[in-house]
Structure 1
Amino acid sequence: MNNLCVAHRGFSYIAPENTMAAITMAMAESFVQWVEIDTQLSKDGIPVVIHDFTLNRTTNGKGLVKDHTWAQLQQLDAGSWKSRAFRGERIPTLDEVLKLSCGRLRLNIELKTKGDMYPGLEQAVMERIAYYHMQNDVVLTSFDTDALRKVKELNPNFPTGLIIDARPLDLLERLKELRCSFLSIGATHLDSTLASMLVSAGITVMAWTVDDATGMKRLASINPEIMICTNRPDVWGATFLEHKQSFWHWKSQKRD
């Protein structure tokens, strides 16, 4: 099983998603080479790392992320909802995550936006990535096709990826039109035919979100190029080690 492990919002099974704790815990697993995070803008234009458009689920705050300044967001507790052990975890800035990850991890950064919700999001995010010279270690993904087009307008060479939870017949044509080299797709929509077609077309494929060993093994059997996005890097690690041990046992039996 050679499929790359992508930690979904960090090690989000144990730690509060999209926090420095979750990303640090993911980094502690030697086999985690990628982390997926989500970014939006504060009211004063600072890229921050949080999934929901509202603060309600993952912080002790209320209301829309975009209606709060960074100073206000910084005061919120983004950890207690998960566990008392993470009380006091904050919403991180994208800068904090990039600084921590630089030279150590690659990032799938989802642009969380819809319509004209976040004017300037793409440019703000790309400027921070450029500051840390991480253009070759990041892919910008989104459900929002206008956001992907904006990235290409700003820098035609910046890698982008469409996020989709479907299997449209014209998927490859859509990716070509958007100039995407990456696809983030719900795992249930992938089979060997689709995976082979995408990989042959030069598309990097990431399947989400798979937390069980059976699902991981299914994806691995379909194509070794599929990246597996999971809240459970620990399950990925155990599954990989089991596969590796079985392989070497088979090799030793053949030698005997």
Structure 2
Amino acid sequence: MSDNNPCVAHRGFSGKAPENTLAAIRMALELPYVTWLEIDVQLSRDGVPVVIHDYSLDRTTNGHGRVKEMDYANLRRLDAGSWKSKSYRGEKIPSLEEVLELAAGRAKLNIELKNVGRPYPDLERRVTELIASKGMREEVVLTSFDAPTLRRLRDSAPDFRTGLIFDARWSSPVRPMQQLGCSFLSIKGARLNTALARFLTQRGAEVMAWTVDKPESMRRLADIHSDIMICTNRPDLWGETFWRQ
């Protein structure tokens, strides 16, 4: 068994199953070394938190237009699997509630709130209330690229752990993390270096590197620090690289 570099399944086992679907979540949870899932959450027009990455429906479903323009009942009629493979025809866009219930007690969740530009003024409240109702505050971290989203979470739900998703090429995430009250950093794997990883981990922060699908890149991150979480579309390759039973 590996005690190092936790494995995070990016949008579930998205290398093989359609991303952000229950099929991808279930496939990831079947692997004994997957301890985290990373998913993306938006709101339907009638305010239901749903798990989908793009603001548009076009890439990963047979629907068209924007997620926020369609009621939950209509989103559920869409096919979110056939784009990946005919064997996944009929796979649905999951609700966040379904994913929470599936993952409870089995894996922690890194939930990215897709709220840049605030297309969903009620997103933070809807998500935090749902998580709290399931008693799962301790099993999730809420992350975002969007500083205003993280500020609203800090002010309205201070008992939730939050994380900054950081992709700026020439600056450091340390100051914005401190200003936003974040204890979690999600950063592109190629941009993570030893000094930053050590600085943050020594101060109790968690660091997740994304999206890492090559064994040599996984090993490079493991050599930097054993606590770096490795977020991958291919958790099976993480297993081949690190898992010892």
The bucket for the TM-score relative to the shorter chain is over 0.9
State the 4+ residue runs in structure 1 displaced beyond 4 angstroms: none
Matched, 1:43 2:55: no
Pairing partner for 2:207 from 205, 208, 211:
205
Structure 1 residue 162, shift from structure 2 partner: 0.4
**Structure 2 counterpart SS, 1:6:** strand
CA-to-aligned-CA distance 1:107-160 (integer Å, 9 cap, x gap): 000001112210110000001101110000000000011111111111212100
Paired letter, 2:214: D
Q: Which residue of 1 aligns with 2:188?
A: 186
Structure 1 residue 167, shift from structure 2 partner: 4.7
Question: Does structure 1 retain, via aligned residues, the 8 Å contact 2:166–2:173?
Answer: no
Structure 1 residue 201, shift from structure 2 partner: 2.2
Structure 1 residue 231, shift from structure 2 partner: 0.2
Q: Which residue of 2 aligns with 1:141?
A: 143
Aligned length: 243
Q: Which residue of 1 aligns with 2:88?
A: 86
Pairing partner for 2:224 from 199, 222, 225:
222
Structure 1 residue 171, shift from structure 2 partner: 2.0
CA-to-aligned-CA distance 1:19-44 (integer Å, 9 cap, x gap): 00000000000000100000000000
How far apart, in 2, do the equivalents of 1:152 and 1:216 lie?
32
TM-score, normalization: structure 2? 0.97
Pairing partner for 2:28 from 26, 29, 33:
26
TM-score, normalization: structure 1? 0.93
Question: Does structure 2 retain, via aligned residues, the 8 Å contact 1:48–1:93?
Answer: yes
How far apart, in 1, do the equivalents of 2:70 and 2:121 lie?
15
Question: Does structure 2 retain, via aligned residues, the 8 Å contact 1:166–1:185?
Answer: no
Unaligned stretches of 5+ residues in structure 2: none
Q: Which residue of 1 aligns with 2:63?
A: 61
Structure 1 residue 172, shift from structure 2 partner: 1.0
How far apart, in 1, do the equivalents of 2:88 and 2:64 lie?
19
Q: Which residue of 2 aligns with 1:99?
A: 101
Unaligned stretches of 5+ residues in structure 1: 246-256
**Structure 1 counterpart SS, 2:109:** strand
How far apart, in 2, do the equivalents of 1:167 and 1:106 lie?
29
Across the aligned residues of Structure 1 and Structure 2, the Cα RMSD in angstroms comes to: 1.2
Q: Which residue of 1 aligns with 2:130?
A: 128
Paired letter, 2:13: F
Paired letter, 2:198: S
Paired letter, 1:98: L
CA-to-aligned-CA distance 1:182-225 (integer Å, 9 cap, x gap): 00000111111111111122210000000010000000000001
How far apart, in 2, do the equivalents of 1:164 and 1:97 lie?
25
**Structure 2 counterpart SS, 1:211:** coil
How far apart, in 1, do the equivalents of 2:214 and 2:191 lie?
16
**Structure 2 counterpart SS, 1:52:** coil
Q: Which residue of 2 aligns with 1:249?
A: none
Matched, 1:237 2:239: yes
How far apart, in 2, do the equivalents of 1:35 and 1:116 lie?
24
Matched, 1:175 2:188: no
Of 55-64 and 95-104, the range deviating more from structure 2: 95-104
How far apart, in 2, do the equivalents of 1:191 and 1:116 lie?
32
Question: Does structure 1 retain, via aligned residues, the 8 Å contact 2:206–2:228?
Answer: yes
How far apart, in 2, do the equivalents of 1:67 and 1:140 lie?
24
Question: Does structure 1 retain, via aligned residues, the 8 Å contact 2:82–2:90?
Answer: yes
Q: Which residue of 1 aligns with 2:17?
A: 15
